[in-house]
Structure 1
Amino acid sequence: MKFVLIDGYSYLYQVYHAISGLTGPRGEPVNAIFGFVRMVLDVRKKVRPTHIAVAWDTAEPSFRHKAFSDYKATRKPMPPDLAVQVPVVKEIIAAYRFAEVSSAGFEADDVIATLVARLPDDAEILIISRDKDLRQLLRKGVAFYDTKTGKLYTESDFVAEFGFAPSLFPDYLALVGDKSDNIPGVAGIGKKTAASLIQKFGPLEEIYANAQLIDGRYRRKLLEAKTRVFQMRDLVRVRTDVPLQFDPDSARVREPDVPTLLKIFSKYNFKKFLEELSEWMDEAVDVEECDYRLVDTEEELEKVARRLRGAELLAVDTETTSEDQHECRLVGVSLSAKPGTGFYIP
């Protein structure tokens, strides 16, 4: 079993900032959508996983926010041009038939940690995330996959970088702090000192038990921050007991919903991704010869009507504001009379 776990929002933010200014045929932002699909295709091709699951944060405050009101207080709201892309990304995930996992009151980190704890010991688990907190999960059979380089970051890589076991990473973060999560750390204790203390003594309990052996200038700062530093460790330590209803078989890689993906990729003119779908199509389509058009004038609409008049078969699909047939509004209509051709009428 080769199981890929994707930290949904972490990766979306990554590609959103990495690919700027990319827009679709109607000027809508598509950089995060494009980056996410490119990652999915790259992972499927290079890693060849047997299972894929995407973990999401939820809108509800997590137990960390309740324990520490300033947790992530410096984070800015999601940019509007990223927020509008999230529903499309989730539609694509559903079309690829990947499992999606979340739990109210917990973060995606905790969901991923719980899945790692539940999966068989002999499973090969690859985590896709830029969240450094998840490094504490590294062990034999668990690694980070860098989608840029295709390289793995393993337990041995972590030990070579920090000089202690990944399980002690929460102790390290509690000492040095984490600006991205607004974790304060211990004033005057930098990365080098924190690593040295953990290498010499181990977890926080042992560091404080041996406080008399620590240089006075650091000992005083550690003792002053003792209560807070243990609290911060609790915040950065991922939970492995999230109440999830999850069947690993639901994440098994399977044939995607090709018609839905064709509709989405055609709408945003993602020719490369349309080409990638050819392996799943009964009749392969040469994307270079495809004729997918946006019909946004009356003149073009009349041409389409003449072209499709008399067609033996006509595929019709609608784009709406929601799946609720009683509440949704019509956004556009897609028409096709043969593979490789299509017209979108907004």
Structure 2
Amino acid sequence: MANDSQKQQVLVLIDGHALIYRAFHAFQDLTTPDGTPVSAVYGFCRILLTVIKELDPQYILVTFDHAKPTFRHAEYLGYKANREEMPAELPPQIEKIKEVVTAFNIPQFELPGYEADDLIGTIVRQVEMRPVGSQPDVRTIIVTGDRDAFQLVSDRTHVWMPGRSKPVRTIDTEYDAAGVVKKMGVRPDQIVDLKALMGDASDNIPGIVGIGEKTAVKLLQEFGTLENIYKTIQEQNLMIGSSTHPILKGSLLKKLAEGHEDALLSQRLAKIDQESPITLELEQCRLAAYRKEDVLKIFEELGFKSLLHSLPADEFEQAVQGALF
């Protein structure tokens, strides 16, 4: 029988801010008895407990966005400029969420100039670059509400998206490569180019004016990459008004020609940086003993009685269960 070090282990990477916003909107108006807003804290904790129970990870960590602007803001002032200012009741909840994560002894990553998914992308790359045969054998599950993470999906990395109302694991919430194709119409490695063509309204990434999702998907299904689209235009010397190409002609060719620079900019903005200056120390992320008394204190303080039964057994309880059963 293989020992634990020879079995495939699960590493869960949680995009903290993506889940915080999802939880904040899903459980809006939830407060403690004294009126303190706790929707984001409650939703995040609920998802975290579901992840621990359902995904049964051996390793886990949480990444957070940093308050300082990123390299994307430096390149494009309009990046995320359409977003409303963070609600005043959210920052205190983020700090409380970090308290909960600390009480669970889960490592937290946050870095000036980078977004949470850049840190996740870097860790995914480091895991996938481990030599074949390395022990433990690890597969990665990214927990997020952000489709940007689809670009990181591979044979060894999946994306798990909790439901908006009930974060219950169902067949269509964990995405492998085939799941991404079914959901988006393109492969994981084409997601960045999809956003380069159609843009992303949520991040204020411009894309090419006049090209929507349907057309962008069709172009990538036909040509494979953004580079190949423009390579075809150049090599076949396709001209606006005279092109007879079955796809690259008329108004579409005009949009592509006029939007080339915007497409390249959008491609850079949409691509997750997998080379941020962090290093994964896998054993430091092992899910082990946690400070249950601290978690209980926080949950009771916030009135999260419905979550108490979902708390995993602590080290003492596990030892007792092991002795009895």
| SS at structure 2 position matched to 1:119 | helix
Change (3 A) 1:200 1:29: same
Q: Match for residue 217 of structure 2?
A: 195
**What code does the residue aligned with 2:141 have?**
L
1:308 maps to what in 2? Answer: none
Deviation of 1:282 after TM superposition, in Å, equals: 5.1
Deviation at 1:40, TM superposition (A): 1.4
- Cα distance change on mapping 1:193 and 1:257 into 2, 3 Å: same
Shift of 1:28: 0.8
Q: Deviations over 1:77-129 (max 9, x none)?
A: 11112222111110000000111112211111110100100114652211111
Taking a change above 3 Å as real, the CA distance of residues 83 and 272 of structure 1, as seen in their structure-2 partners, is same
Write the mapping of 1:92-111 to structure 2, written as runs, cut at 5 A. Answer: 92-111=100-119
Residue number in structure 2 paired with 1:21: 29
TM-score (norm 2): 0.83
Query: Could you tell me how far 1:278 is from its partner in structure 2?
Result: 7.5
CA offset digits 1:134-155 (Å, max 9, x no partner): 1111111211113234131111
Partner of 2:169: 150
What is the CA distance between 1:2 and its match in structure 2? 0.2
Distance in 1 of aligned mates of 2:310 and 2:262: 52
1:60 maps onto 2:68 in alignment: yes
Alignment of 1:119-268 (within 5 A): 119-120=127-128, 122-147=137-162, 148-151=167-170, 152-211=174-233, 212=238, 213=245, 214-268=248-302
Asked if 1:73 corresponds to 2:73, the answer is no
SS at 1:126 equivalent: strand
Instruction: Give the SS at the match of 1:71.
Output: coil
Structure 1: runs of 5+ lacking an equivalent: 285-346
Question: 1:330 matched to which residue of 2?
Answer: none
Q: Give, in angstroms, the shift of residue 277 of structure 1.
A: 4.3
| Offset at residue 283 of structure 1 (A) | 7.9
Higher RCO, 1 vs 2 (CA within 8 Å, ≥6 residues apart): 2
Partner Cα separation in structure 1 for residue 63 and residue 180 of structure 2: 23
Which residues of structure 2 form unaligned runs of 5+? 1-8, 131-136, 239-244, 319-325
1:147-198 deviation per Cα after TM superposition (whole angstroms, max 9, x unaligned): 2341311110112344432111111101101111111111221211111111
For 1:131 and 1:277, locate their aligned partners in 2 and report how far apart those are by CA, in whole Å. Answer: 26
1:272 equivalent among 286, 301, 306: 306
2:3 aligns to what? none
CA RMSD, 1 decimal:
1.8
- Whether the 8 Å CA contact 1:164–1:198 is kept in 2: the answer is yes
> Does the Cα contact within 8 Å between 1:98 and 1:253 map onto a contact in 2?
yes
Mapped contact 1:9–1:56 kept (Cα < 8 A):
yes
Decide which structure has the larger Cα Rg and report it.
1
What is the CA–CA distance in structure 1 between the aligned matches of 2:33 and 2:193, rounded to whole Å? 49
> Which residue identity is paired with 1:141?
R
Equivalent position of 2:242 in the other structure: none
Equivalenced residues, count? 284
TM-score, normalised on structure 1?
Answer: 0.78
Would the alpha carbon gap of residues 234 and 45 (structure 1) be closer, same or farther in structure 2, given more than 3 Å must change? same
- Once the two structures are superposed, what CA deviation does each residue of 1:225-264 show, in whole Å capped at 9, x if it has no partner? 1112111101101111000043121111011112211221
Cα deviation per residue 1:54-75 (whole Å; 9 max; x = unaligned)?
1111011100000001100011
Conserved 8 A contact 1:258-1:281: no
Shift of 1:269: 2.5
* 3-state SS of 2:30 partner: coil
SS in 2 for 1:13: helix
Corresponding residue for 2:323? none
Deviations 1:10-43 (A, max 9, x none): 1011011001221113211111111111111111
